[in-house]
Structure 1
Amino acid sequence: MSLAWSPALAGSIASLLAGLATAVGALPILGIGRGAQRHQGTLLGFAAGIMLAASFFSLIIPALDHLQDAGAGRWHAASVATASVAAGAAIIMALGRLLPQDGIEPAPVAGRMSHRSVWLFVLAITLHNLPEGLAVGVSFAGGAYAQGSTTALGIGIQNIPEGFAVGCALGLRYPPGISFLGALLSGLVEPIAGTAGALLVAHFRPLLPWALCLAAGAMISVIMSQIVPELGREPAGRPQVGLILGLCLMMLLDVALS
């Protein structure tokens, strides 16, 4: 990056590029299309694995590191993480009650994940992209271009499988074009948060651990309330394979790029 760029501009552009990586990950859904419904168990298991790994390795552990680097003791850091994870889960549970139910069906239909479940899933991923964008913007503050670029690159690579997961979830109910667009939009919250983080770093840096753990709680809540029940209706084998593949892939990326 050119050193003539201000930290705010650099943070905005870097977080935009990281957010656009979700669209790269969602590209295969344009080819899979409606075929996603035939592989719901595998795809949902894969998405759950990605979300589970991201909750801990992308969100909770970095939040604890931020808190301890800022001088918080172990009990203080653990209390902040616990409270914000619980708050994130509570938000998703409340939204789940507020969102309208789908039309009543006589029995659960395989390959027909409900609209409500799909959108809660997308909401959780989108919510988790906000603190990631914030982290990119904050890392550029004070002209730390090398650190900011490394953070943006790591988050961008992690966003690729997340974009695929969002595209697959939407592909269970919507046409490929809408699924791809939804995945793209879920990543475009990152430059909004990245710009805010770069401009108002003094205000947002202390809030970053809370935001990270809040997003983690939201994703874990969605896994348990929306994805696990769907996987229980699938034949044994494929969902477990998908979950392990997603978890291992995301864990590898998170740990290697942290």
Structure 2
Amino acid sequence: METLLIGSICSALSTGLGALPILFFKKLTHRWRDLLLAFTAGVMVSASMFGLIPQALDVSNTFVVSVGVMMGVTILSLMEKFIPHIDVERPQKVISDKAFLVVAALFLHNIPEGLSVGVSYAHVNPELGAIVAIGIGLQNMPEGLLVALFLSYQEISRWKAFLVATLTGVVEIFAALLGYGMTHYVQGLVPYGLSFAAGAMMFIVYKELIPESHGDGNERISTFSFIFGLLAMIVLMDLFS
């Protein structure tokens, strides 16, 4: 239980760690915004395709992974459809519909991520829990930056943006405890949770991050930033594997 708490807390707080850069940016230009969004997209694609999905395949099969991924994509798609639209004529101290979607989506998919951490610590392989916690923690960092960036586009203070980004990851601690306790009643929960998280991230990348990073004439440099983000995440996963 002690190792579970340490792993889940580190994984959850890595969201706030990823959001730290927002405290040092007084104002992001379109160019820097596009670079950061593209870099984040690359990290998330890499974490999904080379981290979460392979881990899910190790303990399940392609059918389970496909179901989990489609669940993540479908739920985020439904969220986008049914979340009320908020018309914002000019920046105000409110969260726009797009930023609210990103915050809600990441908060939602942090739940199965936390469940995955908790269940993996109860797995017969004692190393699986640490591996899953590290993998999810690494991909939580760009998620924190993503939320903070979107919130900073409104007239929301950088500290508030940082706090909201951090709080989206805290739910993983409670979900991890729940997942650890559910292992006696629900079998095969880990691959569904990992695949769900991967599908949710891929939806965000293709629906939000890539279009946003290519909307201001910075397509070429954003493409390079995307590749650098992808490679950076591969290097990190290789170091911690």
Bin of the TM-score, shorter chain as denominator length: 0.7 to 0.9
Q: How far apart are residue 225 of structure 1 and its match?
A: 2.0
Q: How far apart are residue 30 of structure 1 and its match?
A: 0.9
1:132-179 CA distances to partner (integer Å, 9 max, x unpaired)?
322332233389766545554454344334423332233233321121
- Of 230, 238, 241, 1:247 maps to 230
- Of 47, 51, 76, 1:58 maps to 51
Q: Hey, what does 1:109 align to over in structure 2?
A: none
Per mean C-alpha deviation after superposition, the further-off stretch among 204-213 and 58-67 is 204-213
1:58-107 CA distances to partner (integer Å, 9 max, x unpaired)?
3222111111xxxxxxxxx21222222122211111111112334276xx
User: What residue identity is the alignment partner of 2:38?
Assistant: G
Q: CA 1:142–1:59 in structure 2 vs 1: closer, same or farther (change >3 Å)?
A: closer
**Contact 1:46 1:246 survives alignment (8 Å):** yes
User: What residue identity is the alignment partner of 1:98?
Assistant: F
Distance 2:56 2:127 in 1: 21
Q: Hey, what does 1:103 align to over in structure 2?
A: 87
Indicate the percent of aligned positions where both proteins have the same amino acid. Answer: 35
Distance 1:28 1:233 in 2: 23
Unaligned runs of at least 5 residues, structure 2: 90-94
**Which one has a bigger Cα radius of gyration?**
1
TM-score for both structures, normalised by structure 2: 0.82
User: What residue identity is the alignment partner of 2:161?
Assistant: S
Q: Hey, what does 2:72 align to over in structure 1?
A: 88
**Contact 2:34 2:214 survives alignment (8 Å):** no
- Of 18, 25, 41, 1:48 maps to 41
Distance 1:90 1:56 in 2: 18
**Contact 2:34 2:222 survives alignment (8 Å):** yes
- Of 134, 149, 152, 1:168 maps to 149
Matched, 1:191 2:139: no
**Contact 1:170 1:179 survives alignment (8 Å):** yes
Distance 2:65 2:84 in 1: 31
Q: How far apart are residue 196 of structure 1 and its match?
A: 1.2
User: What residue identity is the alignment partner of 2:178?
Assistant: A
Query: Equivalent residue of 1:11, what SS?
Result: helix
**Contact 2:80 2:101 survives alignment (8 Å):** yes
Q: How far apart are residue 181 of structure 1 and its match?
A: 0.9
Distance 2:29 2:5 in 1: 34
Matched, 1:30 2:23: yes
Query: Equivalent residue of 2:56, what SS?
Result: helix
Q: How far apart are residue 204 of structure 1 and its match?
A: 4.6
Q: CA 1:146–1:86 in structure 2 vs 1: closer, same or farther (change >3 Å)?
A: closer
Q: Hey, what does 2:198 align to over in structure 1?
A: 216
Unaligned runs of at least 5 residues, structure 1: 1-6, 68-76, 106-113
Per mean C-alpha deviation after superposition, the further-off stretch among 231-240 and 145-154 is 145-154
Q: Hey, what does 1:72 align to over in structure 2?
A: none
Matched, 1:237 2:220: yes
Distance 1:130 1:102 in 2: 26
